[in-house]
Amino acid sequence: MRRIQALLTLGLFFISCKQEVKDTVASNTTLTASTLALDNGKGILNNTNSPHVKFKSIDFGECQWTEGFWAEKFKTAETKMIPYMRSLLTGDKGHALNNFKIAAGLKEGEHKGMHWHDGDFYKFMEAIMYVYGQNKDENLRKEIDDYILIIGKAQKENGYLQTQIQLYADRKPYENRKYHEMYNSGHLLTSACIHYRITGQTNFLDIAIKHADLMYSLFMTDDSRYGRFGFNQTQIMGLVELYRTTKNKKYLDLAEQFINNRGKYEVKETPETKGYPIGDMVQERTPLRESDEAVGHAVLALYYYAGAADVYAETGEQALIDALDKLWMNVALKKMYVTGAVGQAHYGASTNRDKIEEGFINEYMMPNTTAYNETCANICNSMFSYRMLGLHGESKYADVMETVLYNSALSGINIEGDRYYYANPLRTVHGSRDYDKMNTEFPVRQDYLECFCCPPNLVRTIAQVSGWAYSKSENGIAVNLYGGNKLATTLNDGSSLKLKQETKYPWEGDVEITIEACRSDAFDILLRIPEWAEGSKIMINGKESEILATPGTYATLNRTWKANDTIRLDLPLAINFIEGHGRIEEVRNQVAIKRGPVVYCLESVDLPAESSILDVYIKGDTKQLKSDFHPDFLGGVSTISGEVLLRKEHNTDDAMYQKIEHPEWTTFKTTFIPYFTWSNRSNEETEMSVFLPVVWEQK
């Protein structure tokens, strides 16, 4: 380690890398945020001036949760998730801040954590900033300033900043894409832009600009060594946000370059790709503009598509949006679980016969027990959908965001906010998983994950949902997500709008919106009618409206609004059975229970001790199922109770196939819980299933 320190001190470490890196140093040092006319948009995506966006982000902080589901989740993020994560990442166990301190020369030691650990720390910082954006706790802003100081000291003079490279004597910058430099860079740029938007400070942004300028000098060249370098490509999203903040088009050009390069080069093993699968695994087999099937690692794919959607928002290139439309449809209609989760397999292959890890496999091939469904992938699915919502202004994208948020995102963290899951299967059965051979699947929730990408991704998402709740439409405001909140924003024409939303959604389906202040001439209020919400009704000022509340659309309420006008939306929360497409063999003759946006599951703690989840059959009658809200159970949820059939004898033979005769049955009254709350009531592995076989009664 001492040798590494010495190399760093002498600056020899970087000089030994490629010539282009050295050449950029002088030109990078002069450009800082203070010399630029920065854009003052404050959205999570600053698409205020993006020409091809229909639904624009509200400024972060304009929507504040006041009561109900998201207010409570935000509070848990503020009071438990972030403090706990802080103790991990700034301490020796998580070691993320230590890595920066060591690189900065402020501490002795070695790098610990995955190659992407820096990026995960930037995500944690982003989560803190979203909380600061809501509660304005100055201690949080100062905390971030302290981190920025350390990160700035860790950054090399030429802008390079990657502790997983800097702290190893035998690693050189941009030598092998498996070291996740692009991923760390992307989160650095995004986090710095969010920091500027929420605090108005440029100290983090200066670090990001210096870093992005180095990237530009290398990756805008035609050097084929860098042609396939993008790997987990969050840098595309980060560069577009940096373009939006600084208005410097070079960052948009570089973002586009990463898309243009993908699929351009021969897919073969090279020194730059060694150590990780190639081809479809990293979406380099087919150029994006020619793609119509989501392939490869699900997180890599969806960050890539999300970045491409950001580029389209600025360029309006038809070929790009045509491909993104096809890819979104492919994911949502052929590769997504009922929970919104994606990435069906830990190990598998693409239809082009490339090896795949943690990713997409065949269409409609949807295993339950071995489903991978990394929390990050599910979140990325909603991030991609949020961008597509912006581009098209269609409710189906917000439907996917909502499905992910209430189900396969929140399932990644326990109710208390300090235990995590990386994989999110739809069924667990004792003995069906060989945990010795698994590195990210666990029988119970974990207090720390060596691969820490998911926890900060989830916490920043929970902290930022208020920024997704509304969008500015062309002539008004769109309500994307329901929850008790207050909104004070400025519409596209510059007029101010204040309203409040009161609801117990998703446990109850009535939503009341009261206008508090608005412009005097007519404008639109768009209400998302979820695709499941048949029979929804809209009332304006106590009178039933003739405006159609068609499921799967935004209902457009255009009129002259005034203070104290009220809108009441009734979304019927029926308990529904959901079945899969006929091509999904894994759920044939099975149903899942869904009420509103919430998918339910059955967990073995709600079964007799001797029963297995495999013994349970659902009675084919939703009328005998009943929903009840329990304020003190699992953080406050509606459960569904009803009778199930239990098969008395079950297969205990090791034979793969065996004869069966008519089994005996008992009836058992049980409780279904929201899927996201499973694995919260036992310190041991429980069995759980979303889909269960159904016994229909003849009518």
Residue choice 33, 151, 327, 454 for contact with Zn ion (CB under 5 A): 454
> Residue count at the site for Zn ion (CB under 5 A)?
4
661 CB burial (10 A radius; 0-12, 13-18, 19+): exposed
Smallest distance from the beta carbon of 236 to Zn ion, in angstroms? 18
Smallest distance from the beta carbon of 455 to Zn ion, in angstroms? 8
Among residues 531, 559, 48, which one has the least CA distance to residue 314? 48
Q: How many CA atoms within 13 Å lie on the side-chain side of 441?
A: 23
Q: 323 vs 454, which CB is nearer to Zn ion? A: 454
Q: Are 61 and 463 in contact (CB under 8 A)?
A: no
Q: 116 vs 312, which CB is nearer to Zn ion? A: 116
Smallest distance from the beta carbon of 116 to Zn ion, in angstroms? 9
Residue-by-residue DSSP string for 594-643: EETTEEEEEEGGGS-TT--GGGEEEES-GGG-EEEEETTSTTTEEEEEEE
12 CB burial (10 A radius; 0-12, 13-18, 19+): exposed
Smallest distance from the beta carbon of 186 to Zn ion, in angstroms? 14
Tell me 349's DSSP state: E
The number of residues making up the chain comes to: 699
Smallest distance from the beta carbon of 55 to Zn ion, in angstroms? 27
Smallest distance from the beta carbon of 424 to Zn ion, in angstroms? 11
Q: 191 vs 473, which CB is nearer to Zn ion? A: 191
Q: 133 vs 343, which CB is nearer to Zn ion? A: 343
CB under 5 A: which stretch of 123-131, 168-176, 226-234, 373-381 binds Zn ion?
373-381
SS3 category, 178:
helix
Residue tagged 């973002």 (tokens) = 255
Q: 423 vs 533, which CB is nearer to Zn ion? A: 423
CB under 5 A: which stretch of 33-41, 410-418, 454-462, 600-608 binds Zn ion?
454-462
Q: Applying CB under 5 A, does 154 fall inside the site for Zn ion?
A: no
Q: Are 637 and 617 in contact (CB under 8 A)?
A: no
Residues 6+ apart with CB under 8 A from 320: 259, 288, 289, 308, 311, 312
CB under 5 A: which stretch of 24-32, 177-185, 241-249, 367-375 binds Zn ion?
367-375
Show the tokens assigned to 464.
């930022």
SS3 category, 571:
coil
CB under 5 A: which stretch of 177-185, 281-289, 369-377, 501-509 binds Zn ion?
369-377
Smallest distance from the beta carbon of 516 to Zn ion, in angstroms? 40
Q: 7 vs 114, which CB is nearer to Zn ion? A: 114
Q: 129 vs 302, which CB is nearer to Zn ion? A: 302
Q: Strand ranges (DSSP E) for 200-245? A: none
Q: 341 vs 640, which CB is nearer to Zn ion? A: 341
CB under 5 A: which stretch of 2-10, 339-347, 368-376, 528-536 binds Zn ion?
368-376
Residue choice 128, 129, 194, 376 for contact with Zn ion (CB under 5 A): 376
Say how far apart CA 681 and CA 8 lie, in whole Å: 49
Smallest distance from the beta carbon of 374 to Zn ion, in angstroms? 5
Q: Which residue is nearest to Zn ion (CB)?
A: 376
CB under 5 A: which stretch of 86-94, 191-199, 446-454, 516-524 binds Zn ion?
446-454
Q: 194 vs 453, which CB is nearer to Zn ion? A: 453
CB under 5 A: which stretch of 24-32, 195-203, 366-374, 644-652 binds Zn ion?
366-374
Among residues 81, 111, 80, 108, which one has the least CA distance to residue 95? 111
Smallest distance from the beta carbon of 85 to Zn ion, in angstroms? 14
Say how far apart CA 602 and CA 672 lie, in whole Å: 5
Q: 376 vs 640, which CB is nearer to Zn ion? A: 376
Q: Are 191 and 204 in contact (CB under 8 A)?
A: yes
Smallest distance from the beta carbon of 427 to Zn ion, in angstroms? 21
Residue tagged 């150029």 (tokens) = 287
Helix runs in 16-116, H state only: 19-23, 25-28, 69-76, 82-89, 96-103
Smallest distance from the beta carbon of 180 to Zn ion, in angstroms? 12
CB under 5 A: which stretch of 6-14, 91-99, 335-343, 452-460 binds Zn ion?
452-460
Smallest distance from the beta carbon of 191 to Zn ion, in angstroms? 16
Q: 405 vs 453, which CB is nearer to Zn ion? A: 453
Residues 6+ apart with CB under 8 A from 606: 670, 671, 672, 673
Residue tagged 């300028």 (tokens) = 213
Q: 377 vs 540, which CB is nearer to Zn ion? A: 377
Q: 74 vs 116, which CB is nearer to Zn ion? A: 116
Smallest distance from the beta carbon of 599 to Zn ion, in angstroms? 21
69's torsion region: left (phi>0), alpha (psi -120 to 50) or beta? Answer: alpha
182's torsion region: left (phi>0), alpha (psi -120 to 50) or beta? Answer: alpha
Q: Are 67 and 484 in contact (CB under 8 A)?
A: yes
Q: Applying CB under 5 A, does 379 fall inside the site for Zn ion?
A: no
Q: Applying CB under 5 A, does 453 fall inside the site for Zn ion?
A: yes
Of residues 134 through 153, those in contact with Zn ion by CB under 5 A are none
Q: Which residues bind Zn ion (CB under 5 A)?
A: 374, 376, 453-454
